[in-house]
Amino acid sequence: MTTTATSSAPSLPLDMIIFGGAGDLSVRKLLPALYMAHLHGNLPPSTRIIATGRHDYDRAGYLEFVQSKSQPFINERNFEQKAWDEFLRMLEYVCLDATDTAGFAALAKLSRQGVQRAFYLATAPSLFTTICENLAASDLIDGNSRVVLEKPLGHDLNSAREINAAVGKHFSESQIYRIDHYLGKETVQNLMVLRFGNGILEPLWRAPNIVSVQITVAETVGVGSRAGFYDETGALRDMVQNHLLQLLCIIAMEPPVSLDPDAVRDEKLKVIRSLRRMTLGDIARDTVRGQYTAGAAAGEVVKAYRDEAGVPPDSRTETFVALRTYVDNWRWANVPFFLRTGKRMQKQLSQIVIEFADPPLSIFPDAPRSRANRLVIRLQPEESVQLQLMAKQPGSGMHMLPVNLNLDLQSAFSQRRAEAYERLLIDVVRGRLTHFMRRDELEAAWSWADPILAGWKELGEKPQLYTAGSWGPDSSGALLARQGFSWIE
């Protein structure tokens, strides 16, 4: 076992080594994020970025590839030619097959001694074990090393445990960064401040003051080039088990004793362990699986999921999930948490809706029948926090109308807002683990999700079909309507 990495500002030069350096994630997210970190002075002096992949590039060929493929993902207002040229000079490339030790010998020769190494595994999880074994055999891992593991981390609890154990042979837990880019979003990180930095909210943040919580992550895109991967994965594994559960944890967690990474992650773990485990009857009643058919999404006519390249014509993989769950503790007793995610939805929308209880007795004859008070936290496409209240309509009488108190986070702060991957990569460089999943947290999430996957298999039901460009199967609305709620869209 290696020694513990410290959480501090970087004091050593950095070698950022990206496995899968010519892949889609690197091109669209990682390299643009590292450029932005360099542009704003957030990388250590003498940083080098060593990309690896199976493409037979020399360095000049890789730079040409990055120039043509990655630069378009950088917003024009953030592009500075001088900084871009400096960034390109940081780049190196090693042609490497993760299963071939010869490539690791070339990597070891290129990587400098006495530097901080950060290994980003932007590859299939099936390669994580082999990569770590070859890194160790090449003496590339030491106490200053860190490893970033891209999701999905496993296909179920057993495979997640196998990956964790294999990586843990070579890296201590404090050196392992299990990344979930949702935790890098500004608004998600702002949830901690919203909850624990404002005395006005905390006394109300519990049952019976809150009567329901909705978490929606809706996408207009389909599976694209990921069809082969996605059909083996599905929406529950791809989105619910990680992204949505992480949002639920931040909403439901108790105040941590400090912002120490383990203090925060201890409280998140308690939430996941408090999630009610579903029986077969619960799964049949409280979960909805869907799969999109042909329709129109984002203004374009799109094909059905089963007609996507690489998808079997009889696929039963879900592209939509809605479910109801409960956090069985004193703060949240009997408060339903409704989770929903899907592809080819009516619009791109990621938001959290906190529904507050009605007053115990209304003295207003025209009080609305629907709940008047909601806190709506929008994560994308725009980032905002909106508090919905009732107010008197101008004129005679006491007629009520809903009004909104809006905090537009993009206009409230003038400084630039870093993208999620940029912020999380900076955290890796500086050794900040708060916004990365700990091993026991990940395994607890799989322990909750596995019975749902097994239950679906036992029930043998096909996903319900929904038209691309809709809000999913009608039964997802019925899931809430049974308790007098509706999705807030």
Contacts of 357 (CB under 8 A, 6+ apart): 208, 209, 210, 211, 371
Distance (Å) of CA 154 to CA 149, 164, 233: 11, 9, 10
> CA 197, 203, 207 angle in degrees (round to 5)?
125
Rounded to 5 degrees, what are φ and ψ at 387? -110, 120
Q: Catalytic residue, from 170, 181, 243, 435: name it.
A: 243
| C-alpha of 48 from chain center | 27
Rounded Cα gap, residues 30 and 24, in angstroms: 9
| 406's tokens | 């809006």
- DSSP per residue, 155-184: SSHHHHHHHHHHHHTTS-GGGEEE--GGGG
CB atoms within 10 A of CB 222: 21
Residue (of 45, 175, 46, 49) closest to 110 by Cα position: 49
Contacts of 329 (CB under 8 A, 6+ apart): 270, 274
Contacts of 273 (CB under 8 A, 6+ apart): 444
Residue 384: what residue type? S
399 counts as catalytic: no
Residue (of 262, 257, 176, 219) closest to 2 by Cα position: 176
Omega of the bond leading into 152 within 30 degrees of 0 (cis): yes
Any idea which residues carry the catalytic annotation? Answer: 243
